[in-house]
Amino acid sequence: MMREIFRRKSLQELTAEAERNEHGLKRHLTAWNLVLLGVGCIVGAGIFVITGTAAALYAGPALVISFLLSAVACAFAGLCYAEFASMIPISGSAYTYSYATMGEFVAWIIGWDLILEYMFGAATVAVGWSGYFDSFLQDLGVTLPLAIRSNPIGFDGHHFFWTGSLINLPAVGIVLLLTTLLVTGIRESTRVNNLIVAVKVLVILLFIGFGVSYVDTSNWQPFIPENTGSWGHFGWSGILTGAGVIFFAYIGFDAISTTSQEAINPRRDMPIGILVSLAVCTVLYIAVSLVLTGIVPYTELNVSAPIAVAIDRTNQALAWLAPVIKIGALAGLTSVILVLILGQSRIFFTMASDGLLWKPFAKVHRRYKTPHVTTLAAGGFCALIAGLLPIGLLGEMVSIGTLLAFVIVCAGILVLRKKEPHADRGFRTPWVPFVPIMGILVCLVEMAALPLDTWIRLLGWMAMGFGIYFLYGIKHSKVQRAKQRIQ
């Protein structure tokens, strides 16, 4: 049994599978599309919400250093992702990579974990989108009834309670709308994403360009506020904590790797999409955090819309920009939801194609050539939890799956360099073993810092996954059946 569950898919099998394209997915995505998918997923809640909270509670103006540290940490993992993506042009991201290096059982763990990450990530952003949408409507004089604009289940950190609402209808609506768009085709979805990314990047550039004139450099003094006497509250420990808090603002490159099977030239374009989107977003994050903390004292930024607060501090000089910022925030969060649902559906699809999940999930729409069953299932369940659960609880469920995936991918590079040293690589991770080892260490530290409740929920989710694997997946696995036929 132990030997069976760690059977690998060879690189030759994966390459042949990609060349046959037996799943029927269309290759429409260029390097430019992939860069914009990455930017679409990275630039969202992180830049419009987390910047203010991280500055106010942890790092102060030194949030810039936190962003740099997180960028370096993600770069370690991103370089490893880029090598895998150039070698294995199959949908599935870290799931597929671990299948090729550490075997089926580890691949299942990562795949099941990524489903958790993407599903709850999309739901989290959808609830945030609902808040911005409600605020925008109120600016227009329209107030939705509380019963349909808030989550009925609340969570105070210890106990669940009923809020009196019925459903968060805007959150459900945006998820279902984007799910429908994703079913109609990857080309159409990327066109919408490209437009959305253009809007939100323009809005961010407007804020940076006009806001820099209102920066008061005295707000940057002290640049690294003195530690309050407890770990993580300012000082260098605060910078480290801030880096952990904003770490997941950068995870969009993981979603890029789920679309390898729909890239026109994955060997060349996947590394470009991953690394360029990471670099572009790092520059945007650093510029926004500098302007933001320069306009508003960091102590006053613990708000849900920090950029809007900064605009208000310009004495109405930039009042015209406030509604534009809200439109940009809505656009930004919309593209994040789109890319996360896209990523989840592709992982679901790949696992089903391998026989580990039920056969209907591996179907491709005859007309649109998209994995419509997995897209509808992912979007439907995401809409349900976005309509019912609070953003705080949802956000806690996202982090650990991503970190675990990063650890496995970095470790996979070490394994594959030893097992397949002469394999054809379109991109080679530099400075091996330093880069993957540093990626592993940084991610393990981040995982160790997560709350106990996060680990408990993860264990519950994994227990469910183990049940599915041992009752269904291992019996229907194509790799297992192929090996049995050979024997």
Q: What is the pLDDT of residues 159-171, one digit of tens each?
A: 678 888 899 999 9
Q: What is the per-residue DSSP string for 121-166?
A: HHHHHHHHHHHHHHHHHHHTT----GGGBS-SEEE-SS-EEE-S--
Residue that wins the pLDDT comparison between 427 and 261: 427
**Taking 60 as the threshold, does the pLDDT of residue 22 lie above it?**
no
Amino acid code (one letter) for 280:
V
Residue 62 to residues 57, 289, 363, Cα–Cα distance (Å): 12, 9, 49
3-state secondary structure 430-480: CCCCHHHHHHHHHHHHHHHCCCHHHHHHHHHHHHHHHHHHHHHHHHHCHHH
Q: Which of 23-27, 49-53, 211-215, 356-360 has the lowest mean pLDDT?
A: 23-27
Give the sign of the dihedral formed by CA 290, CA 294, CA 300, CA 303: negative
Question: What tokens were used for 187?
Answer: 């080309």
Residue 1: which pLDDT band, with cuts at 50, 70 and 90? Answer: low
DSSP state, residue 240: H
Residue 429 burial (C-beta neighbours within 10 Å; 0-12, 13-18, 19+): buried
| 178-191 tens-digit pLDDT | 999 888 876 666 67
Q: Which of 212-226, 242-256, 326-340, 346-360 has the lowest mean pLDDT?
A: 242-256
φ/ψ region of 355 (left if φ > 0, alpha if ψ in -120 to 50, else beta) reads left
Q: What is the per-residue DSSP string for 276-312?
A: HHHHHHHHHHHHHHHHHHHHS-GGG--SS-HHHHHHH
Distance CA 104, CA 354 (A): 10
Other Cβ atoms less than 10 A from the Cβ of 19: the count is 9
DSSP state, residue 370: S
Distance CA 221, CA 233 (A): 16
Q: What is the per-residue DSSP string for 112-125?
A: HHHHHHHHHHHHHH
Domains and their CATH numbers in the chain: 2-486 (1.20.1740.10)
Distance CA 213, CA 202 (A): 18
Residue 77: which pLDDT band, with cuts at 50, 70 and 90? Answer: confident
Amino acid 371: pLDDT: 86
| 23-58 tens-digit pLDDT | 556 667 788 888 887 887 787 767 776 788 788 888
DSSP state, residue 61: G
Residue 320 burial (C-beta neighbours within 10 Å; 0-12, 13-18, 19+): exposed
| 274-286 tens-digit pLDDT | 888 888 888 999 9
Q: Contact, 219 vs 298, CB < 8 A?
A: yes
| Burial readout 140-174 (b: 16 or more C-beta within 10 A, e: otherwise) | eeeeeeeeebbbbbbbeeeeeeeeebbbbbbbbbb
Of the chain, the end-to-end C-alpha distance in Å amounts to: 15
**Phi first, then psi: what are they for 188, rounded to 5°?**
-65, -40
Amino acid code (one letter) for 216:
D
| 300-318 tens-digit pLDDT | 887 767 887 888 788 777 8
Tell the residue number behind the tokens 């991610």, with chain if given: 443
Residue 383 to residues 108, 119, 171, Cα–Cα distance (Å): 24, 9, 7
Distance CA 442, CA 444 (A): 6
